[in-house]
Structure 1
Amino acid sequence: MKKYLCIIALSACLFTACDPKPAVFELETKNFGPNAVVSIQSSENNETLKAENITNGNQTFKINIPKKGYAILKTQDNENKEEFYFYLDKGSYKGILDGAKSNTYPFTAVPTQQGEEFINFYKLKKNMSKNLFDSLAIAEHEFDIATRSNIMEKAKKVDIWREKKHQSELEEIKAFAKKYPTSEATIFLLNRFGRADSETKKYLSIFKSLDQDVQESKMGKKLFAEIMQANQMMAGNKMPNIEGETPDGKKFDLSILKRVNLVICWVSYSGKSRKNNKVLVDLYEKYRHQNVEFIGVSYDKNKDSWEKIIKADKLIWPQYSDLLGAKSPNAKNLSNYNATYFFLVDKNGIVLSNNDLTLDFVDSELSKYLAGRK
C-alpha cells in the first residue's frame, strides 16, 4: 500500500514539475485598423510563437508552452510596424496596446523581475527621447509631402534625425546600464542595437559599467568577444595578419603595402562582389600609380572557382585566400564575417578607416588619405 502511495505521490510531483503553465496576454487593444496583427517572436531564432488579429477591445491570447527568454512583441497595421522587447515566461501579462500611441510600451504588469526591467527601460527611454521622436515624425511627414524641388533637402533632414535617434538609443541603453548594473537586459539591448563594430568604444564603456556577474554571464562573454573583435579593427589599430596565399602560393607580407591600401573582403560566387569588381577595376587604374595598393581577401573554398573569377574580372591586384570559407580566420578577424567589406590601412598595416566604408565612398576616402587629411 505504501509503495502504491509513493508511486502516486511521485507521479503527482512529476506531473506538477512538467505542468506547461501558459503565458497569458490580457491586453486592451485600440485604434488599430481592420487588418492589424499582433505577434510574439522569440529573439533567439526569430520563431513566431503566436500571431493574432487585433480586435480592438479586451483581447486575451496564450502561449501554452512558453520558452523562457527574451522575446519581441510586434504589431503591424498596414504600413505601420512597431516592436517592443520583453521577457517571456509563464504567467500573466497585462497592458494597453494603442495604435495611436505607437511609442508607448504596452505592458504595465508582467510576471517576472526580468520583465519589470524592460518596463523600467521603456520608461527611461520615453523620458529621454520624447522631443526627438516628435522632431523625427515632423521630418518624416515633410519628406512624405516633399516636392521635386525640395525632396533632397527633406531626405537629408530625415537622415540627420534618424541618426540622432540611433545615437539617442545608445545613450538610453547607457543610462539604463548605469541605473540597473545587475540587469542582463543591457547585454540583450546592445546585441539588438547591433553596432558593436561602429560604436566599439561606447559599447566597451557600457559593458564595463555592468556588474561582474553580468559581464561573466554567457551572453556577456559572447558580447565582450565581439567588442574585442571589433576593437582590433578600429582606426589606429594594426590589422590582424591576412592568412592564406595568392593563387601562385605566396603568403601575405606587409612589404607589399603602399602608402594607402584598400583591403577588399569578398567571395567569387557573390553577385554583389562581381558587380563591385567592375567598379574596383576602374578605381585601381585610377590609383595604382599613386602609391595605392588594393588587396583582395577571398572567403572562397573552391580554388578553381576563385582563380577563374580573378581572371574573368581582370583583378590584377594581389589576391589571398586560405580557402576555408566562412571558417577562415580572415572572415572573423577582418570583417566579422561580412563580405563584401572594405577598409583602408597604411604602409604599416594600421587601420585608417573601416566604419561604414561602402564602395560609394572608397574613391573619396582614398583621395582623402592620399592628401593627408584625416
Structure 2
Amino acid sequence: MRNTILKSGLLALTLISTITSCSKKEEGYTINGKFTDVKEGIVYLEFTDGEKKITDSSTINNGSFTFKGKVSEPLLYVIKLKGAEFGTRFLLDNETITFEAKKDSIQEAKFSGAKQDSIYKSYYKNEFKEVNDLVAPVYKMADSLTQKGKVKLTSEQKAFLDKRWEDLQAQGDKLTEEFIKAHKDKLAGALIINERVVTLGTPEKVKEYYALLTPEVQNSFYGKKVKKEIEIAEKTAIGATAPEFSQTDVNGKVIKLSDYKGKYVLVDFWASWCGPCRKENPYVVKAYNIYHEKGLEIVGVSLDDKKELWEKAIEKDGLTWNHVSDLKGWKNEAAVLYGVKMVPTNYLIDPEGKIIDKNLREEALHSRLKEIFIKK
C-alpha cells in the first residue's frame, strides 16, 4: 500500500506562495489576459479553496480580457473559460499579472508578474520534478517484471521494488522538508505542509513543521488550515475517543457510530471510483468473514456522490456489512470530521469507543485482528 500512497503523492499538485505583507506593493491586482486562439467569449475568475465560487467574469474581446480587484492575502484562484470544466490554477496576489494561453491547453498557461505563482511553480519545477523524474524508470521496471500485471512478483522482486519506492519516498520527504525550512517565513511553507505533509506524511511531522513557521505565516489563511488539520489529527489519534457521526445507509436508515459501542468496529472510508479501495476490499471481506462472529463489526463510509455506483460496488465486491454515505463525495461529513485526505482510510475502534489503530492494510489488518481476538 505504501507504493500506492507514494505514487499518488508523486502525482499530487503542490501549492505554495508568500505572505502578502512581504511583497504587496499595490492596492489591488490587475490581470491582463490573452487567449491566442479565442477571439470572443466569457472568462471566469474562480476561488477554489473550499466551496468553488466564481468571483468575477470578463468579456474576451479580440482574444484579450482584464480582471481587476483586491485580495486580502495571496489565495488560490482559477481562470477558466465559460462552459469549460477545467481551467488553470494560480496564486493571486495584488500585483499586475499577464496571462497567455490556448483554449485546449489552458493548464499550461504562462504567467508573468505573478511573484506568488512563480514561487509555487518553483517547487513544482524543481523539488517535485526531481523525484518525479525518477518514478518513470521504476514504473517501467515494475511493468517489465510483472509483464504489465500478468506475472506475480517473487518475494525477492517485491522486496527490491518496495526498497526502490521507499528510497524515492525518503528522497521526496527530504526535499520537501528542506523547502519548508527554507520558506518557514512565507506562505510557501504552510502550503507545502498542507498539500504534501498533511496528505502523505504523519501528524507528528505536520505538527513539527507547523511549529517552524513564523507567527505571521501561522496566522495566514493557509497557516490556519494546517492548524485545523493538527486539531483534527489529535481528535483521531490512536488512544482518542472516536468522534461520533451518523449517516444513512443504502435503505435510508440512520446509523450512528455509537450504535456499535461494546464491540470492535472498523470504520472504513472508501469509494466505488477508488481503484486502491476496490483492490483492498477482498482483504476486508476476508477479515469480516473470519472475525465477525468473534465480535468484529464494519461500517463502510462511502465518498461516492452517485448512489447507483455506490450500490453496484457494494454488491459486486460482496461487502455484506453496513454501509453509509451522505453522497457528498470528498465533502462527506464523516470524512471531513476524521480529516480523510485519501481513500482507503480506516480506523479500528475498541468496545469503549477508543481508536486503537488506523490505516491497517492487507495482511496487516488480519494480523491486528488476530492479535485482538486471540487474546479474548
Which structure ranks higher in relative contact order (CA pairs < 8 Å, sequence separation ≥ 6)? 2
The letter of the residue matching 1:155 is L
Name the residue aligned to 2:53: none
Among 149, 156, 164, the residue aligned to 1:158 = 164
1:68 maps to what in 2?
115
Partners of 1:187 and 1:223 within 8 A in 2: yes
For residues 314 and 248 of structure 1, do their structure 2 counterparts lie closer, same or farther at Cα, with a shift above 3 Å needed?
Answer: farther
Distance 1:335 1:255 in 2: 22
| 2:186 matches 1:194 | no
1:345 aligns with 2:349: yes
Evaluate the alpha carbon distance shift between residue 243 and residue 299 of structure 1 in structure 2; reply closer, same or farther with a 3 A threshold. Answer: farther
Query: Which of the numbers 321, 327, 346 marks the counterpart of 2:325?
Result: 321
CA deviation profile, 1:56-113 (whole Å, cap 9, x unmatched): xxxxxx95644331446689xxxxxx93269xxxxxxxxxxxxxxx97xxxxxxxxxx
The gaps in structure 2 that reach 5 residues or longer are: 1-28, 33-75, 79-87, 91-98, 102-108, 146-152
Alpha-carbon distance in structure 1 between the residues aligned to 2:200 and 2:237: 8
DSSP-derived class of the 1:281 partner: helix
Tell me by how many angstroms 1:288 deviates.
0.7
Residue 216 of structure 1 and its aligned partner are, at CA, apart by 0.8
RMSD (Å), alpha carbons: 4.6
Provide the secondary structure at the position in 1 that maps to 2:299: strand
Residues in 2 aligned to 1:174 and 1:74: alpha-carbon distance in whole angstroms: 13
Tell me by how many angstroms 1:197 deviates: 6.3
Quote the Cα distance in structure 2 between the aligned partners of 1:270 and 1:19.
38
- The Cα shift of 1:217 comes to 1.1
Q: Give, in whole Å, the separation in 1 of the partners of 2:347 and 2:333.
A: 17
Find the counterpart in structure 1 of residue 258 from structure 2: 254
Q: Which residue of 2 aligns with 1:94?
A: none
The 3-state SS of whatever aligns with 2:297 is strand
**What secondary structure does 1:294 align onto?**
strand
Q: Which has the larger radius of gyration?
A: 1
1:318 shift after superposition:
2.3
Q: Residue 289 of structure 1 aligns to which amino acid in structure 2?
A: E
SS in 1 for 2:338: helix
SS at match of 2:230: helix
The percentage of aligned residue pairs carrying the same residue is: 22
After TM superposition, the score normalised by the length of structure 2 is: 0.54
Secondary structure at 2:255 match in 1: coil
- What's 1:367 paired with? 370
Q: What is the number of equivalent residue pairs in this alignment?
A: 266
Q: 1:323 to 1:240 in 2, by over 3 A?
A: same
Contact 1:73 1:85 in 2 (8 A): no
- 1:205-253 residue CA offsets vs partner (Å, 9 max, x unmatched): 3213322211111221222223323332222222222221333624314
Is 1:184 the counterpart of 2:190 in the alignment? no
Contact 1:182 1:214 in 2 (8 A): yes
Deviation of 1:297 after TM superposition, in Å, equals 1.6
Ranges of 4+ aligned residues in structure 1 off by more than 6 Å: 17-20, 43-46, 48-51, 146-149
Question: Which residue does the alignment assign to 1:287?
Answer: 291
Gaps of 5+ in 1: 1-16, 21-42, 52-61, 76-81, 87-101, 104-132
Give the corresponding residue for 2:219: 216
Is the 1:265–1:341 Cα contact (8 Å) retained in structure 2?
Answer: yes
CA distance in 2, matches of 1:197, 1:233: 16
Which amino acid is 1:230 matched to?
A: A
In 2, the alpha carbon distance for the partners of 1:293 and 1:163 equals: 34
Deviation at 1:201, TM superposition (A): 2.1
**Equivalent residue for 2:126?**
84
Q: Which amino acid aligns with 1:203?
A: V
Tell me if the contact between 1:197 and 1:231 (Cα under 8 Å) persists in the aligned partners.
no
Give the alignment's TM-score, normalised by structure 1: 0.55
